[in-house]
Structure 1
Amino acid sequence: MRRSIPVVAAALGLALTMTACSSGSSNEDDATPKPSAAATTSAPALSGTLTMWVDETRIDVMKPIVAEFQEQTGIKVDLVQKVSGDIRTDFVKQVPTGQGPDVVIGAHDWTGEFVNNGVVAPIELGDKAAGFASSAVQAFTYDGKLYGSPYAIENIALVRNNKLLPETKANSFDDLIAEGKTAKVKYPVVIQQGDAGDAYHLYPLQTSFDAPIFTQTADGSYTNELGLGGEKGEAFAKYLAKLGNEKVLLATLDGDKAKQAFLDGQTPYIVTGPWNTTAFKEAGMDISVLPVPSAGGSEAKPFVGVQGAFISSKSKNPLLANEFVTNFLTTEKVQTELYKAGGRLPALTASAEQVDDPVLKGFNEAGATGAPMPSIPEMGAMWAFWGTTEVQIISGQAKDPVKAWDKMVTNMQDAVDGTK
């Protein structure tokens, strides 16, 4: 079970104290040592090269941040772009061999796998932790230790094309579909799927049936007990089959096609994240962001994802890595710059309070009661069973949605038991 325990404040001053001492220059003939230029100016106190891995979805946001860090500190950063599908597994494989990076930028739900493989070092934010959204700190906390420095929070929501439909009165997802049809376009609403399915984008509908992937304790920590089995999960499976039969959900509509359908005015609604709304606004679209309506009667809760930085347990330059991850990345200035470049809500409260973008505020409100995506080790094995089964139900390949769902739950349970 993952347990989230408040971060214990700890001092990080030793490295800086040592650096300040080594950079001072005293005149042995003087009774009082004179401070060097490094002690009285902003000259670099640390030197060396830091290797950082970033995938293609984050590298453009990180480039100016890294350049600023190099200018301020004198620390050279070797920024390496990795393929999003490979970066996580490559990090796990290469760190034990000493070939991995010092820092990797990624999502909080990698934490459990990283910790269990011994490839990341715990970090200490000390008093700085109180300045972050509690969900962001909780997301990177595993067995009472913090392993990542958060910088952005994101979740999906319902995005509306105001030109096609100026208002939404729907109290349920079925009502939303009915309203969408009044726009008289190709699709009443789109939710991306594709050949492998997309359980992430369907999760708000699933949670509205009270069928979460894993159960949670009172403090929000995840257990390894599956929560999507039984009658509630089966009811969701039947609802997926219904949406598939009605052609509301289409297995052929992957992420790119769903995005393009919205851009082309073929649907008034899309369930998506802030990573797509920039393109919508650049296309001159007037959009609003709303919570996803309930399909099963309970609140529709999306996954909340937190972006951050991890330090390799085998880092050749732990002091430099710590300078970037816990001292530089946590500043209000940098968190605000990351928001402006990436369009995601800052994890730092002081920066988040400055956000006046109604679109981003809409996402924040839609995800206010969401939960961090599970970072427990068992989570990694869930996706393949989950998405594949859902898309089979949607497409009609699974003739009996309940039997298909129950089989999926059995396979998931076997996978959970195999990680114990």
Structure 2
Amino acid sequence: MRRSIILAGATVTALALTACGSGSSDSAESAAPEATESAATAEGTLTMWVDDTRIGEMQPVVDAFTEKTGVEVDLVQKASGDIGPDFVAQVPTGEGPDIITSAHDGLGEWVNNGVVAPIELGDKADGFAPAAMAAMAYDGQTYGVPLSIENIALVRNNDLLDETSATTFDELVEQAKGAGTEFSVLIQQGEESDPYHLYPLQTSFGAPVFAQADDGSYTSDIEMGGDAGHAFSEYLAKLGDEDVLDISIDGEKAKQAFLDGDAPYILTGPWNTTAFTEAGMDISVLPIPSAGGEPSQPFVGVQGVFISAKSENPVLANEFVANYLTTEEAQDVLYTEGGRTPALTASAAKVDDPILTGFNDAGMEGAPMPAIPEMSSVWGFWGTTEAQVVDGQADADTAWDQMVDNIQGAIDAG
């Protein structure tokens, strides 16, 4: 047991929690975050699950927290795909961790299973990117602190085109054709299309997959039907007719074509840009122009930290998560160590990597990936329909209406 610490305004939050559930070489120069102070005291040790790609960046943060407060945070490495399922399985038995680090898209399942505790961030929430905070919300409550965000953007090969003046996606395609390459704008597809990579175009027609509440959390109301959905599906058919979209071009083929200099543009994420720069390519990362007149909103994936509803140390867990990981200093260290765009806007503003800055700018108006259970009823119908429309196998409007009906039926069936 470590020495007691002074906690910042944690008593009321801790009672609420109990009621709800009972790399970089610059690491040595990273600023150590500072803990907060208040009138309540507690002591103990925290257990935190982290995947293998993030345990290295989290270690100096928890070390600084321990040095400042005397409270140990035991980091347990787990496979990323195991964290969510094991959290659901172990928390009810009392064997789970106090805290997990995970992508936000499992939040709906965790809430429905009663394994995650809501937290109160107050004014701290205003310091984060709106899409990042929306990803932490479910059914009107906040359940986590966002750490980093990622999304797709428009990547340009500067050796083929050195300027982008297009303000619409159609203008972008026309400009790209001027490069004289085999492809204009690469958007990976495949036999079942790729709704994730097409989503910025879809939202620009005002056809988001689900409606969002005022706090950014998703409802189960399907929003991609009607006239807006028809306009987008007709646009998909147009892009298919013009060979901008091709279901024979999957993710690997799109990536290789861009590496080979066969297109001036590709819609992709930071997971591919390292391969581009390692190949010696000069690239720029830009926002995706609107196709339908409204903002293009890529899905934003958010890594966050969540507190167990059965934590034996809810006061300490809240101190670490809500009062410590929300600080600029902590988020600065996570960026220095991990190289991911910080969710805290003050930390993101310090990022001087032009590629990461480009992705951050492209995702500022993004939409968090829905974490509601109903999303599992969407992907199959969505991708199959888009592939049929792109490939000219079905009438755009008829196929889209049938897709919406099928999704609604699957949701209603539970």
If the TM-score is normalised by the length of the shorter chain, which range does it land in? Answer: 0.7 to 0.9
Structure 2 match to 1:77: 74
- Deviations 1:165-187, CA, capped at 9 Å, x for gaps: 11112232222222222223332
Offset, 1:335:
0.7
Q: Is the 8 A contact 2:59 2:75 kept in 1?
A: no
- Deviations 1:94-138, CA, capped at 9 Å, x for gaps: 433445443222233432232122110112335543433444333
Structure 2 match to 1:190: 186
* Aligned CA distance change for structure 1 residues 219 and 242 (closer, same or farther; 3 Å): same
What secondary structure does 2:78 align onto? strand
Amino acid at match of 1:311: I
Amino acid at match of 2:110: F
Alpha-carbon distance in structure 1 between the residues aligned to 2:399 and 2:234: 10
**Residues 1:296 and 2:271 are matched in the alignment:** no
Alpha-carbon distance in structure 2 between the residues aligned to 1:126 and 1:207: 30
Offset, 1:52:
0.3
Structure 2 match to 1:34: none
What secondary structure does 2:378 align onto? helix
**Residues 1:370 and 2:366 are matched in the alignment:** yes
* Aligned CA distance change for structure 1 residues 170 and 137 (closer, same or farther; 3 Å): closer
Offset, 1:203:
0.5
Alpha-carbon distance in structure 2 between the residues aligned to 1:226 and 1:69: 43
Offset, 1:149:
0.9
* Aligned CA distance change for structure 1 residues 217 and 65 (closer, same or farther; 3 Å): closer
Alpha-carbon distance in structure 2 between the residues aligned to 1:276 and 1:216: 30
Report matched runs for 1:309-348 at 5 Å.
309-318=305-314, 321-348=317-344
**Residues 1:213 and 2:186 are matched in the alignment:** no
* Aligned CA distance change for structure 1 residues 51 and 300 (closer, same or farther; 3 Å): closer
Q: Is the 8 A contact 2:139 2:218 kept in 1?
A: no
Q: Which has the larger displacement, 215-224 or 334-343? A: 215-224
Report matched runs for 1:244-263 at 5 Å.
244-263=240-259
Structure 2 match to 1:25: none
* Aligned CA distance change for structure 1 residues 58 and 234 (closer, same or farther; 3 Å): farther
Offset, 1:197:
3.3
Q: Which has the larger displacement, 209-218 or 150-159? A: 209-218
Alpha-carbon distance in structure 2 between the residues aligned to 1:407 and 1:372: 26
Structure 1 match to 2:84: 88
Q: In structure 2, which of residues 398, 401, 404 is the aligned counterpart of residue 403 of structure 1?
A: 398
Q: Is the 8 A contact 2:151 2:299 kept in 1?
A: yes
Offset, 1:336:
1.2
Amino acid at match of 2:394: K
Segments of 5+ residues of structure 1 without an aligned counterpart are 1-9, 17-44
Structure 1 match to 2:390: 394
Q: Is the 8 A contact 1:131 1:348 kept in 2?
A: yes
* Aligned CA distance change for structure 1 residues 340 and 267 (closer, same or farther; 3 Å): farther
Structure 1 match to 2:350: 354
**Residues 1:172 and 2:195 are matched in the alignment:** no
Q: Which has the higher contact order (CA 8 A, sep 6+)?
A: 2
Offset, 1:87:
4.0
Alpha-carbon distance in structure 1 between the residues aligned to 2:381 and 2:54: 28
TM-score between both structures, scaled by the size of structure 2: 0.79
**Residues 1:145 and 2:122 are matched in the alignment:** no
Offset, 1:351:
1.3
Q: Which has the larger displacement, 61-70 or 371-380? A: 61-70
What secondary structure does 1:304 align onto? strand
RMSD, aligned α-carbons: 3.1
Segments of 5+ residues of structure 2 without an aligned counterpart are 1-7, 15-41
Amino acid at match of 1:155: N
Report matched runs for 1:267-286 at 5 Å.
267-286=263-282
Q: Is the 8 A contact 2:48 2:101 kept in 1?
A: no
Q: In structure 2, which of residues 177, 180, 183 is the aligned counterpart of residue 181 of structure 1?
A: 177
Offset, 1:68:
5.4
* Aligned CA distance change for structure 1 residues 256 and 91 (closer, same or farther; 3 Å): farther
Structure 1 match to 2:9: 11
Amino acid at match of 1:403: T
**Residues 1:115 and 2:114 are matched in the alignment:** no
Alpha-carbon distance in structure 1 between the residues aligned to 2:160 and 2:236: 26
What secondary structure does 2:258 align onto? helix
**Residues 1:199 and 2:195 are matched in the alignment:** yes
Q: Number of aligned pairs?
A: 379
Q: In structure 1, which of residues 45, 49, 52 is the aligned counterpart of residue 49 of structure 2?
A: 52
Which one has the largest radius of gyration? 1
What secondary structure does 2:288 align onto? coil
* Aligned CA distance change for structure 1 residues 403 and 144 (closer, same or farther; 3 Å): closer
Alpha-carbon distance in structure 1 between the residues aligned to 2:272 and 2:251: 10
**Residues 1:102 and 2:98 are matched in the alignment:** yes
Amino acid at match of 1:404: A
Q: Is the 8 A contact 1:75 1:320 kept in 2?
A: no
Segments ≥4 residues shifted beyond 6 Å: none
Q: Is the 8 A contact 2:147 2:331 kept in 1?
A: yes
Alpha-carbon distance in structure 2 between the residues aligned to 1:124 and 1:240: 42
* Aligned CA distance change for structure 1 residues 99 and 392 (closer, same or farther; 3 Å): farther
What secondary structure does 2:134 align onto? helix
**Residues 1:242 and 2:238 are matched in the alignment:** yes
Q: Is the 8 A contact 2:148 2:343 kept in 1?
A: yes
Q: Which has the larger displacement, 115-124 or 103-112? A: 103-112
Q: Is the 8 A contact 2:137 2:215 kept in 1?
A: no
What secondary structure does 2:115 align onto? coil
Q: Is the 8 A contact 2:49 2:99 kept in 1?
A: yes
Identity in percent: 60
